[in-house]
Structure 1
Amino acid sequence: MSTASKSDPGLFDYWPYDSRPKISWPGGARVALWIAPNIEFYEYAPPANPQRKPWPRPLPDIQSYGTRDYGNRVGHQRMMRVMDQYGLRGSVSLSTAMLKHHPEVIQMAAERDWEFFSHGIYNTRYTYGMDEAQEREMIAHSMGLIAEHTGQHCDGYLAPALSHSDSTIDLFAEAGGLYTCDLFHDDQPTPVKTRSGTRFVSVPYSLELNDTIVYVTNKIEPRRYGQMIKDAFDRLYAEGEHSGTVMCVPLHAYQVSHPHRLAAFQDAMDYICSHDKVWKATGREIAQHYLDHHYDDALASMAAVNAEDAA
C-alpha cells in the first residue's frame, strides 16, 4: 500500500487507556522513571541532505555548533553529578560517532552502569532519503559500535534527529532490537507490529518534557520547565496507583546543563525522588519487564477491543 493511501502508520492498534490490563512494576512501583540523556555529535560541515539543513544559519554556523560542543565539554559532567545525587542511571540516546570523537564522555557513562541505545551515527546525518539497504546498514553499524565499545547489546532506537522512516522499526526489530522511542503516542509501553512478527514494544519517550523542545521550540523558561516535570509526575503517579505508568525525561547537556538551567532539573528530581513507589529504571529494563510480564496480556486485550469494535 502506498504511503499516500495510509490512514495511520499501521504500527499499533487503537487501545483505550482505561480498558487495559493492569501493569505492575517491580516493588509495587506506580511510575517507571527513566532519564534519557541524548549524547550526540553534530558535525560542523556535514554532507548535504536535500531534505533537511543541519544548521539554522548558513554555514559556517559556529554559534550552533559551539553550543552543542558545550554539552560534550561541560554539560554532561554537570548533568551526571545531579543524576548521581539521586541514584539515577541514564539510558543514553547515543550518536555512536561519540565513541570516536569523545570516548571520555562514554567512559564516564559506562562507569555509572548507564544503558546505551542507538541514535544513529551523527545527529547531522538523517534517515531522510535513505533506501532500506542504507538504513539497515546504518542501524547495524551503530549497534555494532555500541557492542564493540561498551560490551552492551543495543536494545533501543531513536532515529537520528528524529528522522524516522516507514522502515525504521521493522529494520531495527529484524536487527535484534527490543524497543523504539520514536512513536510518542502513549504513557504506557505498548506492543508494536513488525513485518517479521518480532516481539517488540514502544517505550514512552516524551517530546513534551524534552528539554530541546521546551527551551528551543516552545521557549519556556527554566522554572516553568521544572514545574512541568513535577506536574507530569503528579498525574502519572496518581494514575499509577491503578496501573503502572512510564515517565521519561529526555535531556541534552547543551540545554539542561547551563548554569542558569540545571537547578530546575535538579529541583524536579529532588521532588520526584522524595516519593516512594518510583522505579528508577532504564529503557531496556522497562521494555524487558513489559515483554516478560505484560506483552501477551496486552495483545489479548487489544484483540478483544478490536473484535468488539468490529462487531
Structure 2
Amino acid sequence: MKSDPGFYDYWPYHQRPQIQWPNGAKLAFWVAPNIEFYELQPPANPYRKAWPQPAPAVPGYSIRDYGNRVGHVRQMALLEKYGVRGSVSLSTALCEHHPEIIAMCAERNWEFFSHGIYNTRYTYGMSDEQERDMIRDSIETIHRHTGQKCAGYLAPALSHSERTLDHFAEVGSELFGDEAGFYTCDLFHDDQPTPIRLRNGKRFVSVPYSLEMNDTIAYVVNKVEPRRYGQMLKDNFDRLYLEGAESGTVMCIPTHNYQVSCPHRLRAFEEALEYITGHPDVWVTTGREIAEYYLQHYFDVARTDIASKQVQAGFDNTGAKTEAQGHA
C-alpha cells in the first residue's frame, strides 16, 4: 500500500536553497481564473454526480452561465485595472461554446492552461488511453484557438488519477516537445515551486495553487462572508510576503467568474488586489512564467538538495529506506 502519492520527496521548508524572483521580488503573485463549461445533462459517471439535484439542474447550470455571460467581463476589467494577467484554468470546450471569451483573454495576453474539456466530465473511471485522449484533446484545442503551447494542468473538477501528471507531461512532450506540459496545479503541498518525479524523467514542476484561497472553497464549502474572504487574502499575502524576504514564495488566488464576480463579493476581491499589488517587491506574473523561471534557475539546485537530504535521512533516490536504515 502506497504511503504517499510518490510524485515528490519530503523536503522541509527549513534550510532549503534560497529563491529570489526577478528584480529581487519576495513573492510571485498570480491569479488563476477558472473559466469553465458545465453541461446541463452530462454523461453519468458512476463515481461522482455532476449535480446534487436531479437533471435538469437548472439552478447550478444557470449560475455558471451567469459567470460566463456577466462575471467574466467584470473580473477581467478588475484584473486589468491592477495589472494582473490571468492564467486561465480552462474547460477547453469553452473555445467552441464561447470563443468571444477566449478572444478577450488572448487580446490581453493571458495564459491558458488545461482544466480538461468539461468540468462535468471527470477522470474517475477513465482508462489510461481515455485520460490521455482527453488531455491531448484539451492541449490541441488550446493551441488551435490561441496559438499557445499549453504548459500547465489542473484536472477537471480536481478529479485526478495516479497517472494524470505522467499523461500530461508525456502528451505535452509528444505534441510540442519541452515547450508544453511542464507544470501542475494539482498538488497542494507547498508554498514554493517544487520538482516533481515522473516516469519519463521530464523536468516538471508543481506551482502552488491554493485551495484555501480558492473562492469556491471559501464561499461554498467554508461559508465565508465576502468581507472575511478579502481579509483572508490579505492575511495570506502578509505571511508569504514576510517569509519571502528570506526565500521567494508564491501566492495564487484561484477564482471562478460565478463566485468572486458577483456584485456583493467584488469589492472584497478588489480591495485584496489593491493591497497586494500596492506592495513593492511583488512579481505579478502567470503560472507559466513562475514555472519557467523556476525550471531555469532553481530546479536543478532543488533536486540536488533534495537528493542530499534524502541520503542523510537514509532514503534512496526512489524515496524508499535504504537497506541499512530499513533494518535499523
Q: What TM-score do the two structures reach when normalised by structure 2?
A: 0.93
Distance in 2 between residues matched to 1:100 and 1:147, nearest whole Å: 13
Q: Note the C-alpha offset of 1:305.
A: 1.0
> 1:254 aligns to what SS in structure 2?
coil
Is 1:261 paired with 2:274? no
In 1, Cα distance between equivalents of 2:196 and 2:308: 17
Aligned with 2:229 (options 225, 232, 239): 225
Gaps of 5+ in 1: none
Query: Pick from 48, 59, 63: which aligns with 1:67?
Result: 63
Partner of 1:49: 45
RMSD: 0.6
Tell me the CA shift for residue 304 of structure 1.
Answer: 1.1
1:235 matched residue in structure 2: 239
Match of residue 294, structure 2, among 268, 290, 302: 290
State the one-letter code of the partner of 2:3.
S
| Distance in 1 separating the partners of 2:127 and 2:159 | 13
Residue of structure 2 aligned with 1:35, choices 31, 36, 52? 31
Structure 1 partner of 2:102: 106
- Within a 5 Å distance, the mapping from 1:297-308 to structure 2 comes to 297-308=301-312
For residues 135 and 142 of structure 2, the distance between their equivalents in structure 1, rounded to whole angstroms, comes to 11
Q: Which amino acid aligns with 2:255?
A: L
Shift of 1:261: 0.2
Task: Give, in whole Å, the separation in 2 of the partners of 1:19 and 1:47.
Answer: 49
Q: CA deviation at 1:175?
A: 1.8
Match of 1:20 among 16, 19, 26: 16
Q: 2:275 aligns with which of 271, 286, 290?
A: 271
Superposed CA offset, 1:74-102 (max 9, x none): 00000011101100000000000000001
CA distance in 1, matches of 2:88, 2:248: 23
Picking from 128, 133, 137, the partner of 1:132 is: 128
After superposition, the C-alpha distances for 1:115-147 in whole angstroms (9 at most, x for unaligned) are 000000000000000010000000011000000
Which position in structure 2 is the counterpart of 1:174?
A: 170
State the distance in 1 between where 2:209 and 2:183 align: 11
Number of paired residues? 307
Show structure 2 runs of 5+ residues with no match: 173-180, 315-324
Alignment of 1:6 onto 2:10: no
SS of match in other structure, 1:243 = coil
Aligned AA (2:287): G
Q: Which moved more, 1:120-129 or 1:56-65?
A: 56-65
Query: What residue is the counterpart of 2:87 in the other structure?
Result: 91
Letter in 1 for 2:212: E
Whether 1:199 and 2:203 are equivalent positions in the alignment is yes
Which amino acid is 2:209 matched to?
Y
For residues 136 and 301 of structure 2, the distance between their equivalents in structure 1, rounded to whole angstroms, comes to 31
2:212 to 200, 208, 214: 208
Deviating beyond 3 angstroms after TM superposition, the runs of 4 or more aligned structure 1 residues are none
- Greater relative contact order (Cα < 8 A, sep 6+): 1
C-alpha distance in 1 between matches for 2:203 and 2:278: 35
Q: Percent identity?
A: 66
Q: Per the alignment, in what secondary structure is the counterpart of residue 256 of structure 1?
A: coil
Q: For 1:160-216, what per-residue CA distance to the aligned partner results, in whole angstroms no more than 9, with x for missing partners?
A: 000011000001111220100000110000000000000000000000000000000
- Asked if 1:162 corresponds to 2:158, the answer is yes
Q: Residue in 1 aligned with 2:112?
A: 116
Return the offset for 1:61.
Answer: 1.2
Equivalent residue for 2:321? Answer: none
TM-score by length of 1: 0.98
Which residue number corresponds to residue 250 of structure 2?
246
